[in-house]
Amino acid sequence: MTVLLLGIAGGLGAGTRFVVDGLVRSLFRTALPFGTILINVTGSFLLGLVTGATLHGAPTDLQAVAGTGFLGGYTTFSTASVETVRLVQAGRPGLAALNALGTLGLTLLAAAAGVILVGGF
């Protein structure tokens, strides 16, 4: 049953990513991929919450279904990587560095904030 729920959650996460990215792209027309950044930062924060909850006694199936399933489908490191490469190819190395390093820093902070909010490390 967990595998079935994980698959359904993964599909829902991917669908949510598609919708969020489309909305953000329609609002912000810029070379910097704000949609992917927002998705990865919010997903990291939510995964921090799920991980923190699991560390404090929540069922491990929560981490499998919500973390691996939904948030695994929602977040997208591979898209962030490709978008960084595209910025380099477009002659925008500064934006590429900002995208890569900014995304990394923000996602780490967001994940830590999620874990801390649930009860610390």
Q: What pLDDT digit, counting tens, does each position of 2-45 carry?
A: 899 999 999 999 999 999 999 999 999 999 999 999 999 999 99
The SS3 call for residue 91 is coil
Domain count within the chain: 1
User: What is the pLDDT, as a whole number, of residue 2?
Assistant: 87
Interval 77-105: pLDDT, tens: 999 999 999 999 999 999 999 999 999 99
- CA separation for the pair 42, 39 (Å, rounded): 5
Residue 104 belongs to what domain range? Answer: 2-118
Mean pLDDT of 43-52: 96
User: Is the torsion defined by CA of 99, 104, 109, 112 positive or negative?
Assistant: positive
- Are 75 and 43 in contact by the 8 Å Cβ rule? The answer is yes
User: What is the pLDDT, as a whole number, of residue 15?
Assistant: 98
